[in-house]
């Protein structure tokens, strides 16, 4: 099977390229807006900006994949709130271009979405929960889901929550890396204790993508960790794992933060469908921290 990955420069894209390249029965095409430094030997790279319709069609028709896994997106929530045109172009228009490119040969599209399509009034949530985003990032991702769902191509949508992990260049941080570095630097950090999530190890999300792609599973799936945690819980467990000074972690609530975009208070996912239909089995958060630690030592 030939699989094309968009957004291969990001955290999930990087993990996918390396996971899929280890599968003997897969041919992997990595794409992104810039080259990847440590591309595995058997992986072919094409420059691709999915917001460019001609480039998207050209690359897809030239490579002829059976499955496309779309990880390309604008995900910085506050930036999306302030730069709405750019956000819509990345998260909706780019997806329209991909769907159009897939239509001719009925290529199966696996698309990554987010818990931020929900309002945060309750959780954890299964695939039947009604979306109602509270910020523009969520609105754009929900609109992207509708583009996929209303298309005539075969599709899978994988929603995920608060992804953490490591890439070699460390170009993008996440809550685990931020907490670790802040405490190592002796900084006091204020972490909210009134938001709930099911944090997701990047390797687990990549495995969920692989399982969905191999099965060409159709429909919606929630892919995340299983433990409901606040960012404060995450920070405290991270400090414990790395034996760092927990007294530097101060609990606060979301009303104390002035952020351009609202955040949903409670999301988190019920992943029974993914476990049953895809065979998905995530790491525990403690196991995820051990995976991160092993990669930071390299």
The per-residue pLDDT for 276 is 98
- The mean pLDDT value of the chain amounts to 96
Rounded to whole angstroms, the Cα distance separating 148 from 154 reads 9
Query: In this predicted structure, which of 51-55, 103-107, 268-272, 293-297 has the lowest mean pLDDT?
Result: 293-297
Rounded to whole angstroms, the Cα distance separating 208 from 222 reads 9
Rg, Å, the chain Cα set: 19
pTM value is 0.97
The per-residue pLDDT for 171 is 57
Give 168's strand partners: none
* pLDDT digit string, tens, across residues 110-137: 999 999 999 999 999 999 999 999 999 9
Rounded to whole angstroms, the Cα distance separating 121 from 134 reads 10
Question: Is residue 114 a contact partner of residue 141, using CB atoms and an 8 Å limit?
Answer: yes
Domains, the chain, with CATH or none: 2-172+199-226+267-283 (3.40.50.720)
Rounded to whole angstroms, the Cα distance separating 113 from 92 reads 12
């Amino acid at each position: 099977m030939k699989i094309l990955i968009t957004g291969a420069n990001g955290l999930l894209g990087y993990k996918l390229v390396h996971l899929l390249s280890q599968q003997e029965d897969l041919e992997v095409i990595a794409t992104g807006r810039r080259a990847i430094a440590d591309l595995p030997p058997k992986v072919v790279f094409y420059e691709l900006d999915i917001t460019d319709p001609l480039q998207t069609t050209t690359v897809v028709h030239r490579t002829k994949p059976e499955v496309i896994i779309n990880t390309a997106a604008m995900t910085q929530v506050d930036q999306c709130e302030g730069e709405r045109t750019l956000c819509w172009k990345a998260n909706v228009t780019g997806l329209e271009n991909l769907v159009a490119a897939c239509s001719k040969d009925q290529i199966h599209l696996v698309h990554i979405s987010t818990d931020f399509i929900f309002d945060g009034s309750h959780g954890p949530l299964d695939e039947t929960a009604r979306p109602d985003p509270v910020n523009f990032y969520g609105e754009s991702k929900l609109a992207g889901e509708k583009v996929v769902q209303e298309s005539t191509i075969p599709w899978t949508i994988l929603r995920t929550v608060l992804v953490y992990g490591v890439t070699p260049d460390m170009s993008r941080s996440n809550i685990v890396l931020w907490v670790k570095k802040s405490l190592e630097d002796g900084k006091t950090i204020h972490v909210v204790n009134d938001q709930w999530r099911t944090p997701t190890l990047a390797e687990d999300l990549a495995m969920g993508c692989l399982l969905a792609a191999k099965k060409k599973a159709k429909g919606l799936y929630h892919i995340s960790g299983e433990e409901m945690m606040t960012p404060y819980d995450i920070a405290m467990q991270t400090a414990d794992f790395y034996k760092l000074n927990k007294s530097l972690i101060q609990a606060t609530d979301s009303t104390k933060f002035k952020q351009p975009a609202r955040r949903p208070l409670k999301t988190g996912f019920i992943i029974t469908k993914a476990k049953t239909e895809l065979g998905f089995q995530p790491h525990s958060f403690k196991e995820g921290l051990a995976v991160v630690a092993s990669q930071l030592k390299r």
